[in-house]
Structure 1
Amino acid sequence: MIQDIAPHIYHNEYHPEKPDADSYLMYFEKHNALANWDGEEITFPRFRDFPEVKTALSENIIYLFTVDDKRFYLAKELALPERKGFRLESNRRFRDAQPQWLSFAGITGYQLWHWYDVRRYCGHCGSPMVHDTKERMMRCPDCGQMEYPKISPAVIVGILHNGKLLMSKYAGRDNITYYALIAGFTEIGESIEETIRREVMEEVGLKVKNIRYYKSQPWSFSETVLMGFFVDLEGDDETITLDTEELATAEWFTREDAPPQPLNISLTSEMIWQFKNGKV
């Protein structure tokens, strides 16, 4: 999965030290990231590539995280020009760009940039928010409102029955041709187990039992922490009642016929391979 970057180690502790010339400088606009996308490996600019940007912490230069001993910083509200091969391209390219540890750093940095971008003003009183000096948090100096990075819990559900796996395709995503698994976000006041039962019933009209936790994954593309589960169909009726607003299709596949996803960076892909390899 995209976060599996060993032997590299991701450190998300908030230790805002002053950047140096070799520190990575991350810059985003809308859904685009500034990087050198040429060749087989992605690279991000460093402070030395933009000497006009001061190597100092400020409201516009924000410490993000460290990978191994390499520190990453966000250039916020600074219009960095495209130069030295660095150009803005869609953050979707982090799905297949190499090396994977830099792709993971890139999409994680994008998630934090988006959070900072939408937390400029206090949602309670409307005053400008300020950066806390001790933790990764935005604080309102007037009313004391505190805002932490947004993480939305969601489930991925592999439904099993008689040696088959239920796989689906999302509606309205003609550019995505591969199959996925049933998925959905947890609602307020709902347990994870209730989310699983509700999403399966809403999307394919089936009841499930024997909920078994598999694994979790941070998925910064949607500011989500994904939790994967395998479940069994309750009863023998495999008839699917499709929610056509959410799904384009849903079908039962044997281990031999189950189509894998083209990239092995997601929890969904790994769960499909677990099924195909007979491990569930």
Structure 2
Amino acid sequence: MSLGWLALARGTLDRVAERRRDEDWVTAAWAGCRVLVVDERGRVPFRLDDRPRLAFVPARRAPIGERVLLGVDEDKNAYFAVIATLPEQEGVEVADLRRIGALLDDVESGMMTHAVAMALWHAAHRHCPRCGALTKTVAAGHVRVCPEDGVEQYPRLDPAVIMLVTDDDDRVLLARGTAWPEGRASVLAGFLEPGESLEQGVVREVYEEVGLRVEDVRYLGSQPWPLPQSLMLGFVCHAPGEQSLRLEASEIAEARWYDRQDLLTATLAGDLVLPGKVSIARQLLEHWYGGELPGSWGLGL
């Protein structure tokens, strides 16, 4: 089984990666493209009609900034992102991925996720890691190169495992991070370490955070989480037998088991706030639950 819907893994644009170093093609594509402006905080402009829609501008009205080729649609229309201060536009609001990523259509969700990931990467990698020289962009914004030694930097991804843990009674474990407000809870997650497999990372992270030994680790799906540069890899796993929770105090404030009725009751009462629909954590929970869980998916969630 796998996760059927992931908010930030729905992109349908052809990224035309083979064209990125074809400067003549990129120049021609820019001349007639639509541009999504994204700032260094990962925010973009959008309009709210029946649903959020990205607010594009033509190339001739785009602000000065680093350009990133996002791709072409099925009609061969080109789209670029420009990393710059967001211009003021009448009837336009500003939002990040957490706010509107799950509410955009497939094409625009993919474009925004790509644009935000590239904007945050560029903002953090302007200098050569070897000599400190200011790098310049090539390959239509997808590579930064050092003018001193020619070293190329490519966009960075940090793989992170995120896992839904169940027990022998098919209850799910939810935990609250130490920085989270009362009532907020989610499944466990953590970054992969060098030299370990994804499955090993799941086992290690669960034991480190809550002291449980797990088995039957199964992969369900993945989605990008460019806040700033993660790839979330979703798993389910099982904690057998009678095991006591042992919380890592620096990371986990509290954790407890929920059966399906417990979870429904707590969310309906407002005692428990679950992750938003934009996250793979929500999809893992609803996969276990067997349907949609209650909650409002309006702007801001």
TM-score category by the smaller chain?
Answer: 0.7 to 0.9
1:154 CA displacement: 0.6
For the residue of structure 1 that corresponds to 2:286, the secondary structure is: helix
Deviations 1:66-121 (A, max 9, x none): 45444332223x44521232344444323444335424422321111111122211
Question: Match for residue 16 of structure 2?
Answer: 13
Q: What aligned pairs does 1:136-215 form with structure 2 within 5 A after superposition?
A: 136-162=142-168, 163-174=170-181, 177-215=183-221
Indicate the structure with greater helix content.
Answer: 2
Q: Which has the higher contact order (CA 8 A, sep 6+)?
A: 2
| TM superposition score normalised by structure 2 | 0.77
Shift of the 80–265 alpha-carbon distance from structure 1 to 2, 3 Å rule, reads closer
- The 8 Å contact of residues 169 and 179 in structure 1, kept in 2 or not, is answered as yes
For the residue of structure 2 that corresponds to 1:257, the secondary structure is: helix
Percent identity, please: 23
Give the distance between the partners of 2:205 and 2:225, measured in 1 at CA: 19
Which residue, 228, 237, 246 being the options, matches 1:241? 246
Deviations 1:48-76 (A, max 9, x none): 6xx4448xxx9733323345444332223
- The 8 Å contact of residues 185 and 275 in structure 2, kept in 1 or not, is answered as no
Question: Match for residue 35 of structure 1?
Answer: 46
Which residue, 290, 293, 299 being the options, matches 1:277? 290
Gap runs ≥5 in structure 1: none
Give the AA of the match of 2:7.
I
Matched, 1:256 2:261: yes
Shift of the 52–108 alpha-carbon distance from structure 1 to 2, 3 Å rule, reads closer
Give the distance between the partners of 2:220 and 2:251, measured in 1 at CA: 24
Shift of the 214–91 alpha-carbon distance from structure 1 to 2, 3 Å rule, reads closer
For the residue of structure 2 that corresponds to 1:172, the secondary structure is: coil
Shift of the 186–180 alpha-carbon distance from structure 1 to 2, 3 Å rule, reads same
- The 8 Å contact of residues 131 and 139 in structure 1, kept in 2 or not, is answered as yes
Gap runs ≥5 in structure 2: 1-5, 21-25, 268-273, 292-301
Matched, 1:119 2:139: no
Give the distance between the partners of 2:185 and 2:15, measured in 1 at CA: 32
Give the distance between the partners of 1:226 and 1:262, measured in 2 at CA: 14
For the residue of structure 2 that corresponds to 1:187, the secondary structure is: coil
Shift of the 217–150 alpha-carbon distance from structure 1 to 2, 3 Å rule, reads same
Deviations 1:188-225 (A, max 9, x none): 22222221122111110111112222222222234211
Count of paired positions = 268
Deviations 1:126-154 (A, max 9, x none): 12212233882212132222211111101
- The 8 Å contact of residues 40 and 119 in structure 2, kept in 1 or not, is answered as no
Give the distance between the partners of 2:8 and 2:77, measured in 1 at CA: 17
Give the distance between the partners of 1:227 and 1:91, measured in 2 at CA: 18
